[in-house]
A = this chain, B = another copy of it.
Amino acid sequence: MNLSDEQKLVFQFFNEVGIIQQLSSTLFNRLLPKGLHNSHFSVLNHLTRLGDGRTPVEIARAFQVTKPTITNTLSTLVDRGFVRVVPNEKDGRSKLVFLTDAGRAFHLDAISRLVPTMQRLEGQLDFAAMAKVLPELVRIREILDKDRDP
């Protein structure tokens, strides 16, 4: 029982992706203050870029994490005073997440922490290559995403 060459390729691909994810998330986590992680920053970034007033499930879907995970992430952000979570008038089951002023300030501060590392990477990473690869990654992500439920 062996894997075909194509299956080995898939495995190798996911292996590289896993390592890059590990290295990059460790890199970013170290830049954030104690107790705050990539995931918290990402949520603030998402709400800043695309607008707040979204439900937890919408946010969970955007990052492809489970509902308990987003509950946990949001509760940390609430404890830090970076978001407010209020009942949704339109739907009694759900809630809406809003950024606070402190949350917006923290987001700006976090970005300023990231910049020096980004600039260091700029000297080494091949942006043209990354830009070319990105659409392929998006397609692969979409396929995996569609595949996972049935």
Residue numbers of A with Cβ under 8 A of B are 1-4, 6-7, 9-28, 38, 42, 45, 63-65, 108, 111-112, 114-115, 118, 120-122, 124-127, 129-134, 136-141, 143-148
Asked if B64 contacts A23 (CB within 8 A), the reply is yes
- Grouping DSSP codes into helix (H, G, I), strand (E, B) and loop, the A interface class, with mixed when no group exceeds half, is helix
Asked if B10 contacts A133 (CB within 8 A), the reply is no
Asked if A27 contacts B134 (CB within 8 A), the reply is no
Pairs A–B under 8 Å by Cβ, sample size 18: A1-B115, A2-B111, A3-B118, A6-B127, A10-B118, A10-B125, A13-B133, A14-B28, A15-B42, A16-B137, A17-B24, A20-B137, A20-B140, A22-B64, A23-B144, A24-B144, A26-B148, A129-B140
Asked if B122 contacts A139 (CB within 8 A), the reply is no
Specify which chain B residues have a CB less than 8 angstroms from the CB of A130 in the assembled complex.
9-10, 13, 136, 140
Specify which chain B residues have a CB less than 8 angstroms from the CB of A138 in the assembled complex.
16
Which B residue sits closest to A129, measured CB to CB? B136
A123 smallest CB distance to B (angstroms): 10
Asked if A10 contacts B121 (CB within 8 A), the reply is yes
Q: A16-B141, A23-B145 are in contact. Are A9 and B134 (CB under 8 A)?
A: yes
Which B residue sits closest to A6, measured CB to CB? B127
A111 smallest CB distance to B (angstroms): 6
Asked if A148 contacts B25 (CB within 8 A), the reply is no
